[in-house]
């Protein structure tokens, strides 16, 4: 097959949907500050509020229950920050919660949750990191036990994992959380627009998501805050977003976000089915052509377009860069690629041995991915793994325990 360009890193980010691009170009003239009272401001305000309706209704929220933020990371930081805020008692106004000084999260969260949690931990708030099983699902027994201690203010569990794709039972986890009187947040950055998400049905108090993972622009995220749930602004100094997030609105970003959501309404369902069949094709092709492979993540409860695979005796960054030369873009859980010395914390938490984690790559497909792409990847990947293993000092599966 002739050399082609295949982008398979959609969990990192996605290209703009052509319709989003069109909408953005058309909207470029809306430069007014939505807070201004004059015509320019009012026009921008109208666009922002229309977009807010579109996005809120997509997740089953009221328009006043969502705030626009700069990214999924900011949304997640903002929620964890509620516990840290020195003005916690006054600001949040929920009597009793102030005495609860512990947060429960998981070992497989995105670094933006793990690091903001580590920050509140340094400020004296207790943190429990839940273990996950071999598929990356949290262990409910441990979870209930921890909640039972009664001092938990907030639980934060991601809906779908960015590296291995595993989807948690958020509704169930949220129910248990509420039975113990704690608040519940979910990082749904990899989920909204890929899975049906309805905040009312899930019962969550906070939910984070982002535009650029679903063919929208970068630099715009969204945080759902259930009406009545305590909140304390992370960025202060403005009345925007009803005083919950200061800063002039990213009007274009918001408009693009709403268009991306609108397109998700139309495309998500059929795309999910298509991606599942592409993933099966790819997985079968890998198994058929390459020996000593193992797959990471849950076999069923997993994002349709995410496949994480480990190759014995081959290191991930080398695989990634040889694939890059073939025009194929993937990511890896190997330490080398991340600039740290530890391989993926998600794979390690799921009990993957270090040497398998170093040899893992994540293939994340999207709306442009085709069958031909999959066949091309199977062919080139087979060659690349043969090459890496040919150079490798580790022979086959011999050194795997």
Partner 1 sequence: MNEDWLYSDKVKDHFMHPRNVLFNEEGFRPDGRGVIGNIKCGDEMVVLIKVDKVKGVITDCKWKTYGCASAIASTSVLSELAIGKTLDEAYKLSSRDIAVALGGLPEHKIHCSVLGDKALRAAIDDYYISHGMGDKVKKEREHIICKCLGITDAEIENAVLEGARTYIQLQERTKIGTVCGECKEKSIKLMEEYKAKHFPPK
Positions that interact with partner 1 (CB under 8 A):
313-318, 321, 325, 334-337, 339, 341-343, 353-355, 358, 390-394, 399
Q: Which two tokens stand for residue 273?
A: 């089915």
- Closest contact distance (angstroms) between CB of 348 and partner 1 is 11
Alpha carbons 160 and 321: distance in angstroms, whole number: 27
Q: 4 vs 178, which CB is nearer to partner 1?
A: 4
Q: Is 85 a catalytic residue?
A: no
Nearer to partner 1, 175 or 342 (CB): 342
Residue whose CB is less far from partner 1, 60 or 353: 353
Shortest reach from residue 62's CB to partner 1, in Å:
45
Residue closer to partner 1, measured from CB, 195 or 321: 321
Q: Distance between CA 242 and CA 200 in Å, rounded?
A: 21
156 φ, ψ (degrees, to nearest 5):
-130, 115
Between 217 and 343, CB nearer to partner 1: 343
Q: Least separation, in Å, of the C-beta of 368 and partner 1?
A: 22
- Among residues 167 and 381, whose Cβ is nearest to partner 1? 381
- Catalytic annotation, pick one of 85, 91, 119, 336: 336
Taking the complex as a whole, the smallest distance from the CB of residue 397 to partner 1 amounts, in Å, to 12
> Closest distance between partner 1 and the C-beta of residue 354, in Å?
4
Smallest gap from residue 336 Cβ to partner 1 (A): 4
Query: Cα(239)–Cα(121) distance, rounded to whole angstroms?
Result: 30
Please give the positions annotated as active site: 336
């Amino acid at each position: 097959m002739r050399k082609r360009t295949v982008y398979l890193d959609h969990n990192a980010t996605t290209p703009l949907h052509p319709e989003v691009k069109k909408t953005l170009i058309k909207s470029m003239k809306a430069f007014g500050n939505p807070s201004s009272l004059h015509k320019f401001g009012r026009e921008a305000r109208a666009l922002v509020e229309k977009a807010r309706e579109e996005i809120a209704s997509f997740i089953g929220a009221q328009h006043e229950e969502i705030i626009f933020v700069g990214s999924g990371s900011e949304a997640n930081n903002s929620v964890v920050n509620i516990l840290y805020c020195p003005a916690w008692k006054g600001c949040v106004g929920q009597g009793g919660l102030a005495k609860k000084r512990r947060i429960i999260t998981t070992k497989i969260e995105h670094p933006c949750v793990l690091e903001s949690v580590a920050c509140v931990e340094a400020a004296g708030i207790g943190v429990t990191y839940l273990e996950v099983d071999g598929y990356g699902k949290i262990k409910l027994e441990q979870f209930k036990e921890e909640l039972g201690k009664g001092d938990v203010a907030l639980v934060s569990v991601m809906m779908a994992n960015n590296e291995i794709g595993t989807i948690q039972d958020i509704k169930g986890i949220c129910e248990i959380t509420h039975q113990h009187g704690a608040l519940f947040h979910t990082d749904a950055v990899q989920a909204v627009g890929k899975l049906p998400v309805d905040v009312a049905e899930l019962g969550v108090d906070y939910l984070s998501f982002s535009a650029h993972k679903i063919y929208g622009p970068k630099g715009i995220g969204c945080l759902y805050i259930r009406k009545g749930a305590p909140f304390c602004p992370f960025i202060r100094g403005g009345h925007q977003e009803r005083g919950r997030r200061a800063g002039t609105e990213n009007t274009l970003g918001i408009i693009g976000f709403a268009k991306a959501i609108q397109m998700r309404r139309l495309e998500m369902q059929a795309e999910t089915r298509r991606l599942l069949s592409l993933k099966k094709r790819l997985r079968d092709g890998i198994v058929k052509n390459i020996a000593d492979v193992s797959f990471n993540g849950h076999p069923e409860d997993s994002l349709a377009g995410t496949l994480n695979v480990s190759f014995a005796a081959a290191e991930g960054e080398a695989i990634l860069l040889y694939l890059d030369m073939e025009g194929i873009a993937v990511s890896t859980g190997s330490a080398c690629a991340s600039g740290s010395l530890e391989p993926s914390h998600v794979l390690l938490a799921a009990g993957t041995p270090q040497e398998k984690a170093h040899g893992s790559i994540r293939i994340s497909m999207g709306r442009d991915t085709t069958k031909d792409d999959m066949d091309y990847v199977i062919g080139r990947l087979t060659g690349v793994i043969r090459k890496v293993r040919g150079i490798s000092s580790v022979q086959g599966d011999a050194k795997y325990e």
